[in-house]
Amino acid sequence: SVLHVDSASLNNAAGAGRLTVSGDLPDRGPIDARVSLDGFPLTGIYALMQSDTLGVAGAVTATMVANGTRANPSYSGSFAFSNASFGSFRAPFMDGIIDYRNRRLNGEVHLWRSGQQVLNVIAHLPLDLALVPVAQRQLPDTLSVQARADSVDLGVLTAVTTTVQDVEGVFSADLGIGGTWEAPKLRGGLEIGHAAATIPALSVRYTNLNGSLSLRGDTIRVDSLTASSERGRAELTGYMQLERLTKPVLALNITTSEFKALDLRGYLALTASGRVALTGPVFGARLSGSGTVTSGVLHFADLVNKRVVNLDEPWVQDLIDTTLIRTQRLGPEFESVFFDSLQVSNLLLRMGEDVWLRSNEANIQLTGLVTVNKVRNNYLLSGTLQAPRGTYRLIVGPVTREFVVRRGTVQYFGTPDLDAALDIEATHVVHPLPGPGQPAEITVIAHIGGTLRLPRLSLQAEHADYSQAELIAFLITGRPSVELSGGQRALFVSVGASMLAGELERTVVSDLGVPLDYLEIRPGDPSNRFQGTQFAAGWALGAKTFLVLNAGVCQSSRQTRFTNSLGATLQFRFSPEWRTEASFEPVRSCAIGDADLNATTVPRQVGFDLFWERRY
């Protein structure tokens, strides 16, 4: 049988582009065929081949002539791509020539940018491209590939891939591949100098990128490769071995020091020090090792929005529009063949002194150790993180009340959903408005339980028995619910002061980036402006030590010495079970005319406590 086409053409109905086919393709005997494309869209070619067109764009102009026989054909032709993209690979302009005869493919490819040839690749490959089924396409004969680039601006990478942006620096390469498909022999090297790049998927920028790679035999060795990220540094060493030309195997070590690994705004920021190994085939590589998260912030949705309050309670339904409750995902999604196939095996991460669980309502320090694994597409975390300190702001309607975290845990169980069990306890001291039978103060305990995805809040009073509704009334108004009978100026001042204090704390710690690990502003007597307002600021001095400075504001007819109101607390943790706390504070009150406030020296109290904690 003979396939004969005088001339057939296919035009792009949506615009420019033409495909023309002509010639003879008999089952036996000589063939003579010609294919030409003129600005034909690549998506059209993929569609004709019944292949996925996702991520494909650009156009191709090419000619191809086929002679010989189906069993032993010969091809010759040329091609040019314009603004082509294949997934994350882009080629603004790439051209080349090919010639195939006697089961050898000879070709040359040029990559251009702004009229300058930036890369030249010459290849001679033993292949069987017969138009009939064959047992093996890759033939056991010698091959040769050579690539050269001389002081090329690395900005070309932004033209060929979307995985990096704002690339700077230069690279030079003289690479060669010989041997066979089964036993390739490499030679040459590659140099990278003064480079920098932004990785959009990680929202970080790496600078001072310098490296040297050498190729010899079947191995690509990383002689040196270093990079900086803000104040940190990373170094990559090791090698990649080619078991076959198309099967590279990794044996790399990565050492980091205060290196910013990622900064996904509103989700996760991570700076780490440690040593990890990357081994195995490129697709399906295994990551293992250990490190310390020296600085990090894990953001999560506001607790009230995530139903930490029982929304079925009548008093809550009166204060909160429950139709605004919505489920929020934990983070952004991005796809990468390498990361999708990456396996993580018992990667140990220890939390340093500057790791926080944070939202608009909470700022909670995390310590402890977690183990990270990844099986197929599932990341698995296991371990228990401690929450030794922090703040939580309960926002109910227009009112904000701040609770101080005194203990807690965040426990991961190694489940694919990355959810964790919460057991966090925080306290807030209510000073009720003066009235008959009112206690001097009420310590309200907020227990945050449930999970990260479905947290729950319960309130109780320390050493007292109040209902949830009664405690909410004290928190909002400073009075029991039975005494609420209309708007009083003190109530509005209290609410306003609380809202202002809470917003100021969030702005200082989260938005302005002031170097404070902890800030608390506790309004005082609402009936007398900010009389008795307490301020506290804290810093982590290491993995086990925390310092808090506090001061009070008292108004007097005479000038008050600010130093007389200063106090300090030093916390030190010996182990997960044992910790100590030492405090040095003045003995004072905010009574008008208190002489101690203005004296040169004031009485001070010294406290020392030893705590033993056991969690079950």
Each residue's pLDDT tens digit, 326-364: 333 333 333 456 777 889 999 999 999 899 988 778 889
Is residue 488 very low, low, confident or very high in pLDDT (cuts 50, 70, 90)?
Answer: very low
Residue linked to tokens 């993995």: 543
Identify the band that residue 44 occupies on the pLDDT scale cut at 50, 70 and 90. confident
Provide the pLDDT for residue 230.
86
pLDDT band per the 50, 70, 90 thresholds, residue 588: low
pLDDT, tens digit (0-9, with 9 covering 90-100), for 406-455: 999 999 988 887 788 889 999 999 888 777 777 888 899 988 888 877 77
40 burial (CB, 10 Å; 0-12 / 13-18 / 19+) is: buried
Q: HSE of 579 in the Cβ direction (CA atoms, 13 Å)?
A: 17
399 closest CA partner among 317, 492, 313, 463: 492
The answer to the question of residue 580 being in a domain is yes
Average pLDDT over residues 506-522: 62
Ranges 253-257, 373-377, 490-494: which has the least confidence: 490-494
Higher pLDDT, 260 or 83: 260
104-121: per-residue pLDDT in tens? 999 999 988 777 787 899
Output the pLDDT for position 315. 33
Q: Which amino acid is at 352?
A: G
Q: Is residue 276 part of a domain?
A: no
Predicted pLDDT of residue 335: 43
Select from 132, 153, 181 the last residue of a domain: 132
Q: What is the mean pLDDT of residues 562-586?
A: 79
pLDDT band (50, 70, 90) for residue 149: confident
Residue 488 tokens, joined: 């009083």
pTM over cut 0.85: no
Q: Considering the chain, what is the average pLDDT of its residues?
A: 79
CA-closest candidate to residue 202, choices 115, 280, 264: 264
Closest CA to 22 of 46, 3, 45: 3
User: Of 47 and 260, which is predicted with more confidence?
Assistant: 260
Return the pLDDT at 553: 66
Give per-residue burial for 359-395: e unless 16+ CB within 10 Å, then b. bbbbbbbbbbebbbbbeeeeebbbbbbbbbbbbbbbb
Is 232 a residue whose pLDDT tops 90? yes
Q: How many residues does the chain have?
A: 616
By three-state DSSP, how is residue 508 classified?
Answer: helix
291 exposed, middle or buried (CB, 10 Å; 0-12, 13-18, 19+)?
buried
What's the count of helices (H) and strands (E) in the chain, helices before strands? 6, 32
In the chain, the percentage of residues whose pLDDT exceeds 70 is 77
Q: Which of 132, 164, 182 is the last residue of a domain?
A: 132
* DSSP codes of every residue in 29-85: S--EEEEEEEEEEHHHHHHHTT---TTEEEEEEEEEEEEE-SSSEEEEEEEEEEEEE
DSSP character for 361?
S
pLDDT at 598 over 90: no
CA-to-CA separations, 37 to 6, 12, 259, 275, in angstroms, rounded: 17, 11, 50, 52
**Is the confidence at residue 227, as pLDDT, over 50?**
yes
Burial (Cβ within 10 Å: 0-12, 13-18, ≥19) of residue 162: middle
Structure confidence at residue 459 (pLDDT): 86
Question: Quick check: 34 pLDDT over 70?
Answer: yes
DSSP symbol at 614: -
When pLDDT is cut at 50, 70 and 90, the band that residue 368 belongs to is: very high
Does any domain span residue 170? no
Establish if 59 belongs to a structural domain.
yes
The residue among 199 and 473 whose pLDDT is bigger is: 199
Domain annotation covers residue 102: yes
Asked whether residue 385 is domain-assigned, the answer is no
pLDDT digits (tens, 9 = 90+) for 279-288: 999 888 999 9
Residue 532 pLDDT grade (very low, low, confident, very high; cuts 50, 70, 90): low
Tokens found for residue 507: 């702005």
3-state helix, strand, coil in the chain (%, to 5): 10, 55, 30
Of the candidate ranges 143-157, 214-228, 278-292, the one whose mean pLDDT is the lowest: 143-157
What's the rounded mean pLDDT across residues 591-607?
60
Burial of 514 (C-beta count, 10 Å sphere; 0-12/13-18/19+): exposed
Residue 240 has pLDDT above 80, yes or no: yes
Of all residues in the chain, the percent with pLDDT exceeding 90 is 32
| Domain with 510 in it | 498-616
**pLDDT of 373-419, one tens digit each?**
988 878 888 999 999 989 988 876 667 888 999 999 999 988 887 78
Rounded Cα distance between 569 and 520, Å, is 14
pLDDT confidence of residue 487 = 46
Count of domains observed in the chain: 2
| Residue 600 burial (C-beta neighbours within 10 Å; 0-12, 13-18, 19+) | exposed
Residues ≥6 apart with Cβ < 8 Å to 339: none
Cβ neighbours, 10 Å, residue 611: 13
Does 208 reside within a domain?
Answer: no
Report yes or no: 285 and 279 within 8 Å, Cβ to Cβ.
yes
What pLDDT sits at residue 408? 92
Q: What is the pLDDT of residue 160?
A: 65
Tokens (6 digits) for 459: 């309130």
d(CA 193, CA 212): 9
Whole-number pLDDT of residue 492? 42
The 3-class secondary structure across 130-190, one letter per residue, is CCCCCCCCECCCCCEEEEEEEEEEHHHHHHHECCCEEEEEEEEEEEEEEECCCCEEEEEEE
Alpha-carbon dihedral sign for residues 342, 348, 351, 357 = positive
The torsion angles phi and psi of 109, rounded to 5 degrees, stand at -125, 135
| Cβ proximity of 295 and 283 under 8 Å | no
- Mean pLDDT within 299-314: 46
Give the tens place of pLDDT for each residue, 161-172. 677 888 888 888
Distance CA 336, CA 333 (A): 10
Tell whether 488 is covered by a domain: no
Domain boundary at 104, 132, 160, which?
A: 132
